Amino acid sequence: MTSPDSRPSPSPDGSTTDGLLSLHGPEFAADPEGVYRRLRAYGPIAPVELSPGVPGMLVTDYDVALEILRDQVRFPRDARRWQQGIPPDCPVLPIMAYRPTCNLTDDPLRSRLREAVTDALDRVDQNALRTFVERSASRLIGRMSPLGEADLRTEYALVLPLLVFNELFGCPAELGERMVAAVREVLKWENSEEANMTLGLAVLELMALKRENPGQDVTTWLMEHPAELTDEEVAHQIVMIVGAGSELAQNLIVNTLRLLLSDERFGGGLSGGSLSVEDALDEVLWTDPPLANFGISYPVEPLDFHGVRLPADQPVVISFAAANNDPSTRAEDRAGNRAHLSWGVGPHACPAQGQARIIATVAIEKLLDGLPDMELAVPAEELTWRPGFIQRALSSLPVRFPSTPEPAPPPLAEPYPVTEAGDEDVPETPTASGAEEPSAPKAPARWWRRLANWWAGDAG
């Protein structure tokens, strides 16, 4: 492990002084495909720098990625031995550190956690979910349409998954915003340690509310599941789902809208192009997946694997983006082909991919119906991408469209402020149970204080 005092610095071509190609910084964000092409010269797995001073191995080959994703024995997910050598202020640590979640653990714990998460998500009524997304999308579009311009990331794709999360988890609007804002801070790779604490405490507050006022929502179902998850385990499953359900759903919506607005195959009026929204979603999941590099494992001993020496306890990262576009397996026509790796494969495949696809599909279809003459406000090549090796995420997606007369606003509950959307207000959503949202207890119960101390690293 490179010490903090001798961390290599990136050169203009994106490599560090010790020759590793960097997966952090603006160079990689601007041209990840160029970096993947260079890495393929090393073979199916290549050495990279994930964060300043943090080396790893990146898998760019489709077949090799499949083999690793399906092998829990040689490629376990437990990061605890690796993270012992990582400074606590490392910006990628909150994302990569061990958590008792179904995507970061191995059997038998993985199976028990996975059962609880899958069962809770399966109880979500998909027709009700679709209806809720349609209604929420219509309200957001109604607020944008009189203005003639919008940033679809901050004013639409960022907000809509948050509203859905609040509904599914029985979460008060202010608390949901706090959680999602913390997730965004973690993925900015700045102040990530503090943001991780903010996220954890917000989740614990939600659990305290649900303990006093259980409802027909995912939080309650996790807490009451027959697998008898501990409080710590419930908290971490919620962190996992809100992280994926907010940031990654947002990026899937934005990346698909970018394709629809910039590719002539979808032209001739967005609702009348030659390819469908489902086709566009599939293409983005192949070429620009919102989770670009993850599925991280940590071999417990050195491995000679497909001609590459893998060090013990060093991250092996699956590049979903690079493996999906592996030249040796890429087909010219992939319409309708869903054999991409973007939801993961094997025992750690995303348990919420069905719900995520509903949210993204409905969000995009409603927007195309509501603003059919929408176009990019800047050339597509001028759009910028946020740094970070894990997500593939635009900084903004500015559009313009003919403004429409402002309709009479529907009756709403208390307005819900959205931090990144300027002065716009978004309606507060009802909880899944339809009951009035409870307020946090003034004096947290002993279990809440104990759990908060545990999250902060105080075992006492």
Contact 318, 390 (CB under 8 A): no
**Helical ranges in 109-150 per DSSP H:** 109-122, 126-144
244 Cβ contact partners less than 8 Å away, ≥ 6 residues apart: 291, 350, 352, 356
Listed residue (39, 41, 44, 13) closest to 26, CA to CA: 13
Give the single-character DSSP code of 348.
Answer: G
Residues 392 and 270 in one domain: yes
Rounded-to-integer distance, Cα 155 and Cα 370, Å: 15
Query: DSSP of 428-448, one letter per residue?
Result: PPPPTT-PPPPPPPSS--HHH
Burial 29-55 (b: 16+ CB within 10 A, else e): beebeebbeebbebebbbbbbbbbbbb
Token pair recorded at residue 83: 């993270």
- The dihedral region occupied by 359, where left means phi > 0, alpha psi between -120 and 50, and beta the remainder, is alpha
CA distance 62 to 323: 4
Q: At what angle do helices 109-122 and 231-243 cross, to 10 degrees?
A: 60
Q: CB-based contacts of 376: which residues, under 8 Å, 6+ apart? A: 261, 262, 383, 397, 398, 399
Q: In one letter, which amino acid is 111?
A: S
Does 108 sit behind a cis peptide bond, omega within 30 degrees of 0 on the bond before it?
A: yes
Q: Under a CB-based contact definition with an 8 Å cutoff, are residues 123 and 259 in contact?
A: no
Segment 64-92, tens digit of pLDDT: 999 999 999 999 999 999 999 999 888 88
Q: Are residues 332 and 412 in the same domain?
A: no
For residue 408, give Cα distances in angstroms to 96, 101, 139, 146, 428: 47, 45, 11, 11, 18
Residues 169 and 44 placed together within one structural domain of the fold? no
Q: Is the CB of residue 305 less than 8 Å from the CB of residue 45?
A: yes
CATH number where 337 lies = 3.30.43.20
Question: b vs e for 77-94, b when ≥16 Cβ sit within 10 Å of the residue's Cβ?
Answer: bbbeebbeebeeebbbbb
Rounded to whole angstroms, how far apart are CA atoms 324 and 62? 6
Q: How far is CA 279 from CA 131, 266, 299, in A?
A: 22, 10, 37
Considering the domain architecture, whether residues 158 and 253 belong to the same structural domain is answered as yes
Is residue 359 within 8 A of residue 164, CB to CB? The reply is yes
Question: Could you state, in chain order, the average pLDDT of each consecutive group of 10 residues for the chain (460 residues)?
Answer: 36 57 89 94 95 95 96 96 91 88 94 96 94 95 94 93 90 85 68 73 91 95 96 92 82 95 69 71 92 95 95 96 89 70 92 91 95 94 91 94 71 36 37 41 47 47
**Token pair of 1 as six digits:** 């492990």
Closest to 116 (Cα-Cα) out of 8, 287, 237? 237
Which tokens is 270 given? 């967005």
254 and 328 housed in the same domain: no
**Two tokens at 112?**
């028990």
Domain boundary among 341, 356, 372: 341
| CA–CA separation, 212 and 323 (whole Å) | 46
Instruction: Return the structure tokens found at 131.
Output: 């209806």
For residues 356 and 332, state if they share a domain: no
Spatial contact of 48 and 16, defined as CB atoms under 8 Å apart? no
* Structural domain containing residue 146: 99-288+342-460
Number of domains the chain contains: 2
My answer on whether 180 and 318 are in the same domain is no
- Residue 273 is predicted with a pLDDT of 53
Residues written for the chain: 460
- What SS3 class is residue 158? coil
Whether residues 143 and 267 share a domain: the answer is yes
Give the pairing type, strands 45-51 and 303-305: unpaired
Whether 135 and 243 map to the same domain: the answer is yes
Same domain, 212 and 258: yes
Q: Residue 260 and residue 243: Cα distance in Å, rounded?
A: 25
At which of 326, 341, 356 does a domain end?
341
Q: What is the pTM of this model?
A: 0.82
Q: Do residues 414 and 302 both lie within one domain?
A: no
Tokens, residue 57:
């191995």
**CATH number, position 199:** 1.10.630.10
Which of 341, 362, 381 is where one domain is finished? 341
Cβ atoms of 204 and 452 closer than 8 Å:
yes
- Residues in Cβ contact with 96 at an 8 Å cutoff, skipping those fewer than 6 apart: 50, 79, 82, 83, 296, 315
Residues 6+ apart with CB under 8 A from 103: 77, 240, 344, 348, 350
Same domain, 74 and 156: no
| Phi, psi angles (nearest 5°) of residue 22 | -85, 135
Contacts of 435 (CB under 8 A, 6+ apart): 213, 215
The DSSP element (H or E) to which 206 belongs, if any, is helix 192-212
Tell me, what's the pLDDT at 453? Answer: 53
